[in-house]
A = this chain, B = another copy of it.
């Protein structure tokens, strides 16, 4: 049922800001230890050294804490994409950098339990699913922008659509790869890399 969760105070004082960070850090640690489903609000409060009421001062519900963590991860990833694709010049250069990005993204999921937990079961709630899609759109725009001078003018609109689709497919590929054993995961990622090169490479000239 839940109507839109009630809006909460946005912290302005230094004390409150620090508190919010402590809450997020505690949540992050606990997620890494036990998985987000198993994390209890009382545990987060205890670990953060704040009373339970403080969580609800700044987060309307448990999901909101996860969403905030998810957003931060997403921003970090987007930054990495922008950085990695900056100043790309040739088609081969673009493809090599994409390989690298894919590798890094896979590694991120392999090594960071919180990323794995939060984005593994993407769509456990509506808001996270929306965030995932919004985020893919934003990433697609970044990629399309960085590569647009390599894409024929008349293909550019389609190219952004393809990038958008590709972001989602990449998420699916990585989630699959980390869900199976490492060896098979590597093999699947190798196939996906090939697929991606073919798909994106098809648009690039130069």
Binding site for B on A (CB under 8 A): 1, 37-38, 120-125, 129, 133, 158, 161-162, 164-165, 168-169, 171-173, 175-176, 179-180, 187-188, 191-192, 195, 198-199, 202
18 pairs of residues in contact across A and B, judged by CB atoms under 8 Å: A120-B123, A121-B123, A121-B125, A121-B129, A123-B123, A123-B124, A123-B175, A133-B176, A161-B187, A161-B188, A164-B188, A165-B173, A168-B173, A168-B176, A169-B172, A171-B172, A195-B199, A198-B198
Query: At the interface, is chain A mostly helix, strand, loop or mixed?
Result: helix
How many Å from the CB of A170 to the closest CB on chain B? Answer: 9
In the complex, A129 Cα to B175 Cα: how many Å?
10
Closest to A121 in B: B123
Give this chain's copy count.
2
- Please indicate the chain B residues that have their CB under 8 angstroms from the CB of A125 in the complex: 37, 121
- Cβ–Cβ contact A188 & B176, under 8 A: no
Residue in contact with A169 in the complex, picked from B129, B133, B169, CB distance below 8 Å: B169
- Please indicate the chain B residues that have their CB under 8 angstroms from the CB of A180 in the complex: 133
In the complex, A117 Cα to B164 Cα: how many Å?
23
In the complex, A169 Cα to B168 Cα: how many Å?
9
- Cβ–Cβ contact A192 & B165, under 8 A: yes
How many Å from the CB of A42 to the closest CB on chain B? Answer: 15
How many Å from the CB of A196 to the closest CB on chain B? Answer: 10
Closest to A162 in B: B191
Closest to A171 in B: B172
Given contacts A161-B188, A191-B162, contact A179 B129 (CB under 8 A): yes
In the complex, A96 Cα to B74 Cα: how many Å?
38
- Cβ–Cβ contact B187 & A176, under 8 A: no
How many Å from the CB of A82 to the closest CB on chain B? Answer: 22
